[in-house]
Each structure stands twice: as C-alpha cells, then as structure tokens.
Amino acid sequence: MTNVVIIGAGVSGLSIAYRLQERLPQAAIAVLERDSRPGGTAWTLHEGGFQVEIGPNGFLDTKPTTLELCRDLGLGERLIRATAAAAQKRYLFLGDRLRLLPGGLASLIATDLLSWRGKLGLLTERFRKRRAPKPGDTERDESIAAFARRRAGAEAANLLADALVTGIYAGDPALLSLPACFPRVAALERQHGSVLKGMAAAARERRAAAQANGQPYERPGAMWSVREGLRGLSEALAGALKRPPLYGVAVRGLRTAAGSSSPSWTVLGDGQQSWTADAVVLACPAHQQAALLADVDAELAERIGQIPYNRIAVVALGYRRQDVSTPLDGFGFIAPQGLRRDVLGVQWCSSIYPGRAPPGAVLLRAMCGGWHRAEMVGWGDDRLVQALRGELRRAMYITAAPIFVKIVRWDRAIPQYHVGHLDRVAWIEKRLQRHPRLFLGGNAYHGVALNDCTEQGCVVAARIARTLVERNANLR
C-alpha cells in the first residue's frame, strides 16, 4: 500500500488529500493537523446568532475549482451567492466619508475620486505601449505600483491600485509583484498590449461562448459561500476523507531514507509518534514548512522562510439595525493603506449574505493591521474596539455601542508576494528535485485566495499521483 502524509489540514491540505484520494483510491493518506479542527483560516464562528468568518469571507467564481469542489462534496444546495447590491457597490473611505467606487465607464466619468487628468490617464491605458521585453525574458517582474503608474498614471495608481491591494493582500503595492499577485493582469498586457483591451476581448469571448451554448451571459466575479459559512466546506472536506485528519498533532521534523527499499520519508511527531511515507506534502504555512525542512535542506528552508507575511486583526461587531443609519447597500468599504488609518476595511457581512446576523441586527467585520499598521494586532481588545468605533463613527455615523464583539488575531495572516517572488518559487521548485516525493502546498507560492488553494489542490494531487504511479511501476 502506498502511504502519503500531508501536514496541515487547511483547505490546501484537505483539497490535496481529497483529490489524491480520487486519483489513488488504494493509497493510505494521513492528514496531520496541530489544531483541534480542520480548515485553518477557512472557519466560521457561530455565536449569539451571529455567523463570523475568521478568515476569507467567500470565494469568487472567476475560477471553477472551488465551486466544483463544493458540488463534488454534495454542498451544491447549500451554496449561497452574495447579494446583487454587494456585488455592485463598494466604497472607499476618503476624507472621513464613504465614496462609491466607479463600476463602469459612466460612473468613472462622473466620479469625484479622480481629477480629469487622473480619469484621462486611466481611460487612455489602451493606447499606451506595452513594456518592451528584454532578450530572453518571458516574465519581467514589476511592482504593482510601478505597473499601475506606467499603465494608468500616478493618480489612479495611488488611489485605485492601493485600494485593490489593500482589499486583497493588505500589503504595500510598491513591494508586491504584479505578475505574482495578479498574473492574469500581466498576461492581458503581454497578449493584448493593454489591460482594457484584454478585458474587452475576454468579455467578447465569454459572450460568444454563452451564445453558442444557448445560455445567458453572466459577468464573472460573483462571490459565493456555504450557508453555514466556510466551515461547512472545511468540515465536508475532512468528512469526505477515508481516514479522518489527526488533530492535535505537532510535527517536529522530517527524516529521509532516500535510496533505501523502505518508504522514503519518516515524519516525526511529538514524543514517540512517527509516520512512514512514500510521499510527504507540506501544506502548512511557509514558516512552519521552513522549520520542518531545517535538518533536511537548510538552504531550501531558508528560502521558504524568507516569504513574508503580514499581521491582521479581524474584528466582528454586531449592532442593532436601528443604531446604524447607513443603508448598508453594498459590500462595504476600504480605507487605502496610504492613509495609515486605524482600519483597512469593513465588510457589511449581513448585507453580503443573508442570515449572518440575528433578526433586528447587522454584522460588520473590520480588518486592522496589515503591512503598514502591524502594531495594531498587538493592541488590547478595548483599545482596538475603541479605535474601530472612532472610524465607524466617522465613516458610518455609528455612535451606539456594539451588542456583539469578536476579535481574532493572525500574526501570520496573508503571504506577501514581493517583487522577486516568482524567482524564489522557481528556485524552490528546482531545489525540490533533490528530494524525491517531497511536495509543497499552501497559499505561500501560487496564490493566496481560496480558489488558488483548491486549484493547487488539484495540481499537487495530480503531481503526487503521477510520481507515485511511476515509482511503483519502476519497483515492479
């Protein structure tokens, strides 16, 4: 029997296990998790009638893998789509007031977020020359800020690119890599010479495909979740495995026996616990992967450990509906990090997905900290809540005290794909060739979103299955 050990029972590790189980049903797959539950950051708290996501708030349908995974797990009837208002309206917190982000050409022309010069810079993006590649280059690295300035001008870069990065990475656009963080955007310029031209061409292709299939055209980008929250996905994944994950297991290291006729790897737990394996998958955060690999390959461990993370505090606040005068007719608002405010953004959770708050109440979820305000994560509960109440008073005129508060702190929240990330990942993947049947997963390498984790779950599972089938064939 083929033995596989997967370290980490977040969505990455669980989806790898599930897809590998499909490909190699005869394999014995052990998933080890130091926590007492599955899911990692993809988990939902149910307290006092409120439903609070402690990590991601859902997933987009721009990639099919998570929707397909949910349906394969039998969650199809429990999928819920974000409301139309949440999909259409998002706000920026500027000048102590909320201002609607433009959602199309007409609203862009009418908005006062940009000057006429700033609007012109954005609208003329399609006429700007693409960056000429250097000889032999396939993907030149560039920061998000530099790309946005080059394609749309400084004003749009300083405001809109900052807001986009804040909402997804809570990082610094001057440090983050455009091709690593937004590979599709880089590809649009490379293939079409312009992001706007590329987006228009992609929309035409989708319309033509829908028409050819006799289906109505729907713009991609809707957000989805599970009725009981993302914990429903995590629990369904864990429950679908032939061998349930082992919880409360702290892995302290790996030992290799490459070249012997016995299984190639030994996974060492606390005390006398150990597992032998033909293949090992590290699906835990990068800093944990680095610690586990320190005695196997110090240089590989060092490179993995160099992937930085930011710090985030998630603060859920419940209010009586009568105490909130703002209509809550959208997704929420973002405060660009360049402003260095006490809040990165606030999601109007009970407006995005119905049922996230008890009757007569609303649920808001604030993000604090990020790359430039990491110290906020270390603030005490009272100081953190008071700072947020001050921001909500200015942004949404809320003066009443919340009736519900829940704070979750993440000291290592979101991997930051700084300029040079693609080169680092390429080096890591080449170095892995020295260690047969050792695989890396998680969101530290090829995308931080839930969709990226489930997509990589398919990719890594296929790679493991192929490697093990070839190995077993060679042993016959």
* Residue pointed to by tokens 């950051």: 41
Tell me, what's the pLDDT at 30?
Answer: 98
Query: Which ranges of 406-449 does DSSP label H, i.e. alpha helix?
Result: 421-431
pLDDT tens track for 368-385: 999 999 999 999 999 999
Percent of the chain with pLDDT over 70: 97
222 within 8 A of 59, measured Cβ to Cβ: no
Residue 261 scores a pLDDT above 60: no
Residue 353 scores a pLDDT above 60: yes
The residues with which 52 forms a beta bridge, in sequence order, are 45
Tell me, what's the pLDDT at 131?
Answer: 78
Ordered by where they begin, the domains of the chain are: 3-40+232-307+418-475 (3.50.50.60), 44-86+309-410 (3.90.660.20), 114-212 (1.10.3110.10)
Tell me, what's the pLDDT at 262?
Answer: 52
| Tokens found for residue 241 | 């495995």
Q: Please state the pTM of the whole predicted model.
A: 0.95
Rounded Cα distance between 169 and 378, Å, is 19
Query: Which ranges of 346-380 does DSSP label H, i.e. alpha helix?
Result: 349-352
| Tokens found for residue 223 | 């957000």
Question: Which of the pair, 138 or 21, is modelled with greater confidence?
Answer: 21
| Tokens found for residue 52 | 């609070």
Q: What φ, ψ does residue 130 adopt, rounded to 5°?
A: -70, 160
**Which one, of 417, 418, 319, lies nearest residue 366 by Cα?**
319
Distance from CA of residue 248 to its chain's centroid? 25
Name the pLDDT band for 130 (thresholds 50, 70, 90).
Answer: confident
